[in-house]
Structure 1
């Protein structure tokens, strides 16, 4: 398949492009700057999703599939810049869908591509049911979550015109490393705990008592879900799947595992609790049943160990 990956130099986008190349696909990575590293074999295309005219002039080829991963993702930052998040995540999606070629260079109609969209558990807000099923009514509590839900709806309604086939993958928390590339976002728990263990930060700040439970999925396992979804999407149809390990882990357990794996202390400081769900775990029954997908590398110790090896030369 000929596949376009947006956000191909990002943490998840890189892993997805790498997996697709390994599976034998022809992959184009859409990035905003020429100096961003891409997996070996991924052909770069320089464009900005917020420049529709530039997109139209850049995306000449037809694609069998699109993995749309370019987005702004920091929840707390979205509260200070909601317009920016909606512009990037919703308008960027609209511009991408509008720029996908509908005819081949010879003038014949192009087939409807499979579009796999990287969404988030943040669309659920504070769900009532745990583990969270896809049938839970979305009720985002942040501009980030609301913008991702709006982009989901754009993609799903567009699919119902027959222009594309769409699968939305709602991801919970991603960790681990491929090709020595750990998650660079130290606003997230595991990267920040590892930064403290490496001596790059004096302490880890915890909101509340550390009892909040989340789940973590290896980035390479997530990449394999994208590969499965590309094969499963059909023109004129749209589906939504949760993608996660289904195993909950408390903040305290994550810190303890980081200390065990690295052999170094992770000093902590406690701030008042934030209005966040005490438990957030995915029900992944549907994606396992329909796509035959299973996580293979998502044990907490393994995810932390390969992130640590990528982060710190001393860890080897």
Structure 2
């Protein structure tokens, strides 16, 4: 298939483009500038989804272009809705019809449910503009599929980590990159809310990319599906920090701050994608994730 990946130079987009090429697809990466770093054999298409765009003919689209930082979304809700919702409108308008669309969504659409692990039928209740904008875009893609114009698969992702091709997660607002930055001597300490007992799950970015390939094969015009994509294995903040210390052999000083209102556990139920698409995480042990992310860091101090 000829596939367009939006956000193809981003952390997840790069991994998805790489896996699509390996699966034999012809891949174009939509980027905002020609200098963007793309995987080998992914051709750049320069365009900005914040305005009307003209696209070539594609069999499928993996839509990953988005703003993703929860805290920033509170300060700039208009910007998040413009990028995540209007950008999706502009993309769908540019499609010619009949395409398979895999939309990259987030567990943030669920909010903080008591039911754990979280299944796909958990009623959405996003607690921040980021999650709300992604849910709105999800609904838009699904309603478009119901017209028969496209086939849609929505992938709701939990915490993604690890590296491919020496490219780790550059976002130091996330736990593993933050802890590795401390181990590398680039930050004096790691700030932890409360006692570090909050449990989250982590999925290797390459396992997520494989899910996109499977979802693309499963999409069919006029149909819509939603899948959680996660490891299903939780680890506390304290366990992640201990794993970073063990992998790097370096200290990770922690500064414990007052606890914040947050759910004690957020873990996915990914049984549906395992059953329907035969997908399984293969690289998502905490040790492998951290080892790859550590090796992807540029020259470290000390």
State the TM-score bracket (shorter-chain normalisation): over 0.9
1:16 aligns with 16
Distance apart, 1:275 and its partner CA = 2.2
Match of residue 99 from structure 1: 94
Equivalences for residues 251-290 of structure 1 within 5 A: 251-290=237-276
Counterpart residue number, 1:204: 190
* Contact 2:8–2:14 (Cα < 8 Å) also in 1: yes
User: Could you tell me which residue of structure 1 aligns to residue 128 of structure 2?
Assistant: 142
TM-score for the superposition, normalised by structure 1:
0.94
Tell me which residue corresponds to 1:69: 64
| SS in structure 1 at match of 2:93 | helix
Structure 1 residue 276, shift from structure 2 partner: 1.8
* Residue of structure 1 in register with 2:81 after alignment: 86
1:42 is matched with which residue? 42
| Residue-pair matches, total | 301
- Per-residue CA deviation, residues 33-71 of structure 1 (Å, 9 max, x unaligned), is 11110000000000000011xx12xx1x21111000000
Instruction: Tell me how far 1:312 sits from its aligned partner.
Output: 4.0
Q: Which moved more, 1:274-283 or 1:291-300?
A: 274-283
Instruction: State how 1:305-316 maps to structure 2 within 5 Å.
Output: 305-313=291-299
> Hey, what does 1:106 align to over in structure 2?
none
**1:138-180 per-position Cα deviation (integer Å, ceiling 9, x unaligned):** 0000000000000000000000000100000000000110000
* Structure 1 unaligned regions, length at least 5: 103-111
TM-score, structure 2 normalization: 0.98
Structure 1 position 314, deviation (Å): 5.5
Cα deviation, 1:296-316, whole Å, max 9, x if unaligned, reads: 00000000001100114469x
SS at match of 2:265: coil
* Runs of 4+ residues over 3 Å off in structure 1: 312-315
**2:210 counterpart SS class:** helix
Q: CA deviation at 1:278?
A: 1.1
- Contact 1:123/1:139 (8 A) holds in 2: yes
Q: Which residue of 2 aligns with 1:107?
A: none
Q: Distance in 2 between matches of 1:2 and 1:137?
A: 35
- Does the Cα contact within 8 Å between 2:211 and 2:279 map onto a contact in 1? yes
